[in-house]
Amino acid sequence: MNAYQIAVVDDDVQIREIVEAYMQKEGYRTVSFPSVEAAWELWKNDPPDMWILDIMLPGMNGFEFCRRIRKDAEVPIIMISARDEEVDKILGLELGSDDYMTKPFSPRELVARVNRLFHRFSSSKSGQEHSASPVPRRTRLEIGELRLVLEERRVFWHEEEIEMTLKEYKLLQTLAEQPNRAFSRDELLNLVWGDDYFGSDRAIDDLVKRLRRKMSELPVETVWGHGYRLRMEEGGNVK
């Protein structure tokens, strides 16, 4: 029996029952809710190991709940929706979900994706545990007026703190760690989302637009036909 618990949030009782049945058959523990409000106590007091969220929910929708979960935890999130719009997939992934499935979907495929995500998260944690080094870890990055406090995952631009989604932060950190390097869109997709990302490279363009809107004059340059880089002027400071 797997020790992992999966929470399913969907207002369709039949979908909840089918998903729970397949997950339990795989050995997972499950709990389900018809709305975010019904799942609120679990999230605050005894959060599960994975969330499977519908987007169109009564009350708070799945996008907003995903954003709130991501402020506190790196727990795997799979979003499901009856809408097959690319913008929905990009928004869901950009807000911090790890996968996106369109209804109707195959329960067996969902199980496969759940197994893959747990394996990926488990491997990532194991790698972090075995990568301990006596070399002091960098605690912040500074490039001109940009400052990232890495251990707290906070961003400051001209001394003003900027609220970031998980994906926005990962992209900014990736560019800031190697200023002036031109990253291709494919590289950035792999570094921000992982090598099993299934969408288009428009997701990176969307993230860059969001960073530019949040931080006016942020020196993220478009490298035409290739990707993006964060320019560091002479005398810039990286710590």
Kindly report the CATH number assigned to the domain that includes residue 220: 1.10.10.10
CA angle in degrees (0–180, nearest 5) for 185-214-97: 55
Predicted local distance difference test score (pLDDT) of residue 82: 82
User: What pLDDT is recorded for position 199?
Assistant: 57
**Over pLDDT 70: what percentage of the chain?**
82
In a domain, 81, yes or no: yes
27 and 108 housed in the same domain: yes
Q: Are residues 121 and 21 in the same domain?
A: yes
Last residue of a domain, one of 129, 149, 171: 129
Q: Which residue has the higher pLDDT, 188 or 195?
A: 188
| Tens digits of residue pLDDT in 126-170 | 544 444 444 344 577 888 889 998 877 889 999 999 988 778 888
The CA–CA distances, whole Å, from 224 to 56, 113, 163, 203, 209 equal: 37, 35, 28, 16, 15
Can you give the residue range of the structural domain that contains 118? 5-129
For a pLDDT cut of 90, what percent of the chain falls above it?
37
- Work out the mean pLDDT of the chain and round it to a whole number: 82
Same domain, 125 and 147: no
pLDDT of 75 reads: 85
Which of these three, 69, 103, 129, is where a domain ends? 129
Taking residues 74-85, report their average pLDDT: 82
Give CA–CA dist 173/167, Å, rounded: 10
- Indicate if 20 and 121 belong to the same structural domain: yes
Closest CA to 80 of 98, 103, 97: 103
Check residue 136 and give its pLDDT. Answer: 45
Structurally, the chain folds into a number of domains equal to 2
pLDDT tens-digit readout, 223-238: 988 899 998 764 444 4
- Each residue's pLDDT tens digit, 24-78: 999 999 999 999 999 998 888 888 999 999 999 999 999 889 888 887 777 889 9
Within this chain, do residues 88 and 115 fall inside the same structural domain, yes or no? yes
Do 147 and 103 lie in a common domain?
no
Assess if residue 239 is contained within a domain: no
120 shares a domain with 148: no
